[in-house]
Every structure is written in C-alpha cells, then in structure tokens.
Structure 1
Amino acid sequence: MVKEKYSQSINSALTDILQYWMEKTPDHENGGFLGKIDNDNIVSPDAPKGSVLNARILWSFAAAYNHDPQPQYLETAERAYHYIAEHFVDNNYGGVYWTVDAQGNPLDTKKQVYAIAFTIYAFSEYFIASGREVAKDHAVELYQDLIKYSLDKEKGGYFEAFGQEWESIADLRLSDKDANEKKTMNTHLHVLEGFANLYRIWPDEELKNRITDLLKNFTSHMIDSETGHLKLFFDEDWNSKSAIISYGHDIEAAWLLLEAAEVIEDPEWIARLKDIAVKMAYATTEGMDKDGGLWYEKDPKADHIIKEKHWWVQAEAMVGFYNAWQISHDPIFLDQFSKVWDYTQKHIIDDENGEWFWGIGPDGQVMAGEDKAGLWKCPYHNSRACIEILKRL
C-alpha cells in the first residue's frame, strides 16, 4: 500500500528534477554547467562555478543512471566528470579547487575538505555507472590526499580547510553561516559519505578502518547522547564550540551513518546505528511544524527557532523518517515522512519554473533572492531523496 501511494509521485518528481538540470544548466558557451540561475530561471553567465555544485551534479546523474539507465543521464554525468577532471582537479598539489571562473580558470584555489569529499563521492558513483577506471583512480588519489594532509593523526577526525599547497589558512569556513573552527560535523558527515561510496568500488582494508574511525568520531564527539541532536563545530581537541541544533543535519546523519555501517558490513555498528538512527529521528520531530514542513535550525541558548523550510531539509527528512520507520515500525515516522512529502509537493516543488525552491520563509512565502542553481543549490539532496525512497519502496 505504501508503494502504490508514493512511487508514482516520487518517480515523477525525480524525472522533473533531472529534466530541469539537463535543459537549463549546461553552459553551452564555456563548457560544463552554469554557475548561477535564480528563482525565475534568469542566468548569471559570469558567475563562478563551484566544485561542490559540479560534484553534486555528477553524483546525481551517475546515481540516476545507476537507478534507471537512461543514456541521457550518463551523457550528463560524463559532461560533469570531464569538466571536474579538467578544471577543478589540481594536478600540481592534489585536491580540488573551491571555485573556477565562468571560463573554467582557477579562482578560489583553497582546499576545502568538504568539496574533496563530495568529489570522491561523485567519482565513485560515476565509476559504477561508466566502468571508467580513470574515475576510480581519481577517487582513490583524492582519498589519499585527505589521509596525507587533512587527517588529524593524534586526535582523530579531519581538519577543515587548507591553502592551495595544503598550508594553514586563517578562514576555514565553508560559508558565512559557519563558525570558523578546525573541525565540523558537516564536513565529517560528507567525508564519511564519500569514503563509504569509495569502499563500494575499492574495498581497501585501510579505507574500512577510516570509515570505522569516522563512526567512532560521530558516536564519541558529535552526537549528543542525551538529546539525540548533533553538535556542529569543534576545536581540534573535539571541544564543542556551538549549541545550534540543525534539524536537517540531524535527520540526514540518522540514515547516512547507518548506510556507512551497512556498506562495510559491520554487524555491531549496524545494530548500534539503527538505535541511534531512531533516536535522532525522534529528536528531529521537535522541528516539525504543524503544516508538515521541517524547520531549519534552533538556537537553544536564545530559545529561538529559524522557521525557514529549506529544500534540502525536507529532502533529507523524507529519507531519515522513512528509514526510522523501516527500523522501528513506529507509525509516527511513516506519518512524518508522509507529511513532509505532502508539504514538499505543495510548497517546495516549483511547478511553474521547474526544480525546487530554495525554501519557504516563516511568512509562508518563497524565500526571495535565493538560487535555483548555484554554489549550494544543487540536484543532489532532492534527487537522492527520490532515488533512495524509490529503492526502499
């Protein structure tokens, strides 16, 4: 019954997302994909191009092809792969650049570990789709860069960012919203995700140990065992430097941590992380609004909730709540999944101009001035949620 109720609408949503990115985002003048398109589909032709966006496009279309082998999905993945390999990969010092300009020349050459992790994730998925050994080799080389330069060999975990030649830099932040700290939950979550996808194609024993170490980092330092929420920012000694609660990251981590344990086929970690996934999903329900959407974040110290409903938060909530229902069979989670998907269809999906809006503000209106495609606005969260739910259905 669950399958009949959801598979058609979610499959249709996935097709629409992929169609939008194939039609609207290729840069026919300079190659690759456009750097920025606004809510009304107005292109900024000179906008920089981001490594995170391009890696996420590559992952999305490789994953779409692996789910449903349509030749146009593989063609789009190939376009993304070649652009990243030719313009973002730093052949001199390793890693990938943060941004290139509209013509593909290096712009911000810092090494953000988050971006490298996404590139590992994407190259691994593309190898599964294409069988191209060079993509696998690229992924392994980037993994080795992170172990060589970013791994904290004393305290564990990964440092956040470096200069082009892997030298120390003062500003480590991913974005203006982030705290300037040496270690972040967000980067570790996506390093784990990248490493787990790499392990699917390259079951190396050292890599398996690195994945296990990351799971230990999460359970020892990043998950609050009392509340079930994540801690977000840390100094190098793992002292927590922020009290902010991110509902979207809570529910995303709930299922991604378990997935990593399943990839390495570790029964003890699988059992432990199933319990944690359910606990984190219960904690996330605190952020559910009565209209079915999931709020962005909360500052417990100020007792203030940011009542924006971002596209990626709704996408991750779909998977995280469905996953918790599959584990626990508690009907609250199937209900929350259903509410989030209904909310997303009514308010987040842009039926007129395509793709999903960035988000809905506290006033119930579409958030103005945000991207449809940009450094952060991508096809990965929403296409992945659709693919993941369709698999589980």
Structure 2
Amino acid sequence: MLQAADFEQELANILRYWATHVPDPKHGGFYGQLDNDNQPNPLAPKGSVLHARILWTFAAAYGHTRDPAHLTLARRAYDYLTTHFLDPAHGGVYWTVDYLGQPLDTKKQLYALAFSLYALAEYHRASGEAAALGHAQALFDTIEARSFDAERGGYFEAFGRDWQPLAEVRLSAKDADAPKTMNTHLHILEAYATLYQVWPDPRLRRQLKALLLDFADHFLDARSHHLTLFFDASWQPQPDVISFGHDVEAAWLLFEAAQTLAEPGLVRHFRQVAVQLARAAAEGLAPDGSLRYELAPGGHYDADRHWWVQAEAIVGFYNAYQVSGDPHFRDLSAGAWRFIQQHLLDRARGEWYWGVRPDYSPMPGQDKAGLWKCPYHNGRACLEMLRRLAPPLAPPLRGRGA
C-alpha cells in the first residue's frame, strides 16, 4: 500500500544519512566514496554528478520540509560545486576533482553539465539566490554553444576540457561509445524543464520543445515502445540493451516536461507516451514485483535489482496510473515500493543498498555513495510520491521536471 507517511519517513531517513555520513569535514564538500559499511575513502576523487545530485536533493527537500538544515546542506554542495567544478577558463564543469578539490578528469561530459544546471536551478528556486540562476543560465548557454547539433538536432555527448573532440565519449565503461545518447538527452530535458520553471526564456522554451520532439522522433521505438539508447551523429540507431529503468523513468519525466510547456498537443501526446513506456517497462517485471535491470539483444536478462530502477518504478508506474486511471499501474508502483522495503533498505546502517542479486543478497563491491550512488533517485521518488499522494486540495501535477 502506498501511504504518504511511509514516504515522509523514508525521505527523512535518506536526508539524515547523507547529512550525517557524507560531508567531508576536512576538505569540504562531500566524500567521493563511502563503502557499504559507511566507511569513507577520504582520498577518493569527487564527482560533479554526485555533488550536483546532492545539491538538487537538499534544495528540493527544503522546498518540501522548509527545514533550514536542509538548505544549509544544499548551500554546502552549491559552494563546493561552484568553487571546484565550474571551469573558469573554458566553461562547463569538470567530471571529477581530486580529494583536495583540484581538477582531475577535466572532460566536458554533457551529462554532468545537465545535472549541474538542474541542481543550480533547483537551488535558485529554494534559496532565491540570483548567482545560482546566473550559473545555470551560463551552463545553458555553454550547452547550446558547444554541444547542440544545429544541423541535425540533438546534443553531442562529450568533449575535452577546451571543447575539442575526444577519441572516446562514452559515459561509463558499460555504455556504448556513441555521439548521441538517450540518457544524456533525458537529463538535459529534465534540467531544461526545471530551469524553464524559474526562467521562462523563449530560447530555452524552444530547445526544451525540440528535446521532446527528439524523443518522439528518435528515442521512442514506435513498435516496441521501449527507448533506443544510442545513436550516431546522423541519428542512426545502434542496437543495444533494453533498459527497463530508463523506460519507466522517461515515462514520467517526458510527460512532466510537456506539462511544463503547457502545449495541449504535446501534453496529450506525452500522456499517451507515459502509459506506453510504463507498459513496455513492465515487461521487465519479476514475480516479486521488482524491475529487472536490462534485457540484452539475445533475450538474456541482467536480473540484478538496482536501487535506482526500483525508485523510478514507484514514480513511473504511479504516474501511469494517474494519467490513465488504470489501477494495475498503481499496483505495480506499490509492488516496487514493497520490494524496496523488504530488500533494498539497509535498516542497520542506513540508506539503500546499490542493489540485490536474484537471490536477494546485496550486490558485492558496491558503494553507499560514489560517482553514481547518490540520494537523487530515491530522495526524488519520495518527494514525488509525497506530492502525488497529497490531499485533493493540493496543487495538481505541475510539471516539476524532477
């Protein structure tokens, strides 16, 4: 059963964990890595994506809780992000800095720029700080000037520090080395949607709409209703896995971006897409209500249950219930939440496990915090469900873009 009180409590648990265990008292910002026993590695590199996601989480949480401590943690992340990750010479953000805050991996991965913009816009909304909006606007200008493909549309994946081409642009070792990817476009879209809510600029609106059309024209497979993940520069697809987590995440993010633009035709189309993507994602459901990670081209499942996939399943399936009225989707959302409660919450040490194997044992060698593990997916899921389970007199879905 989906109850607001449960999500309120879990949000408090997540925020408490990150406020207690992850701030780096010696070198500032937040530790780059904590292991599964909450032991920090004080010498680990610090990631721009991790700091941006912490910033977004505490800024968005402050919008819900109005707890000054949450705004203070957001300010800590904001100060570190703007001091150490913004590149003053060439624009954009570094991928990593070392534990002392010195530039380490200085490539310009558009995924990291998108998350930084997203977080800065949310922090501006929470704090009213004009400088945060200025940084977000500067990142928007940089993305458009350096990454946007004016000839064919869409955004290129990565560049060197000085925006020269790279021999390899993949986001991670498991990703295809493709110049245009669904994942990066999805997070540019959510960043632009959030920025538009605090800065309704006509050029930003045009580019946000173009991103939605890129999904309609390229990323959404009209036959299977799954997402195609990788493309060459000319939008030729590169066959790869089906990512059930991205299907269910995009199901609600695309719809909310359409709501942000408030164009009736787009809202109608992406309302339908929300249901189609959720239904396609449900093909990855296991009998226990969890969502498997991926399906390889040969029909082989990666059956590990990753934390972020289950978090997105709660929201994506519940959103499909809201827009369609089909109670089956509500039940799928409740099933994902029940699985999380039973198997992913580390009740002894706090936070969520990275994931569990098919036998429900924790996935070995994974972190509680790191370049990828952060409070964004699970914290955001709690905030979204609190908004969606609010009493009827609360504001309707408002296209948070989060």
TM-score range, shorter chain: over 0.9
Output aligned runs, 1:80-119, within 5 Å: 80-119=77-116
Output aligned runs, 1:262-273, within 5 Å: 262-273=259-270
Return the match for 1:276 from 273, 284, 298: 273
Q: Which amino acid aligns with 1:61?
A: F
Query: Which residue of the partner structure matches residue 190 of structure 1?
Result: 187
Moved over 3 A (4+): none
Offset at residue 74 of structure 1 (A): 0.1
Question: Could you tell me how far apart the structure 2 residues matched to 1:98 and 1:53 are?
Answer: 10
Q: Which amino acid aligns with 1:224?
A: D
Query: Which residue of the partner structure matches residue 328 of structure 1?
Result: 324
Q: Which amino acid aligns with 1:325?
A: Y
SS at match of 2:349: coil
How many residues align structurally? 389
2:345 is aligned with 1:349: yes
Deviation by residue 1:202-245 (Cα, 9 ceiling, x = unmatched): 10011101001001100100000111100000000111112310
SS at match of 1:107: strand
SS at match of 2:368: strand
2:339 is aligned with 1:311: no
Return the match for 1:140 from 137, 141, 149: 137
Query: Which residue of the partner structure matches residue 12 of structure 1?
Result: 9
Offset at residue 6 of structure 1 (A): 1.1
Output aligned runs, 1:1-393, within 5 Å: 5-299=2-296, 301-393=297-389
Q: Which amino acid aligns with 1:20?
A: Y
Deviation by residue 1:77-116 (Cα, 9 ceiling, x = unmatched): 0000000000000011000000000010000000000000
Deviation by residue 1:279-331 (Cα, 9 ceiling, x = unmatched): 111111111111111100001x3110000100000000000000000011111
Offset at residue 171 of structure 1 (A): 1.1
Offset at residue 264 of structure 1 (A): 1.4
- Compute the TM-score of the two structures, normalised by the length of structure 2: 0.96
Q: Which amino acid aligns with 2:386?
A: L
- Compute the TM-score of the two structures, normalised by the length of structure 1: 0.98
Question: Could you tell me how far apart the structure 2 residues matched to 1:260 and 1:328 are?
Answer: 18
Question: Could you tell me how far apart the structure 1 residues matched to 2:74 and 2:239 are?
Answer: 38
SS at match of 1:158: coil
Identity of matched residues, %: 52
Consecutive unaligned residues in structure 2, runs of 5 or more: 390-402
Deviation by residue 1:128-181 (Cα, 9 ceiling, x = unmatched): 111000000000000000000000011100000000010000110111010001
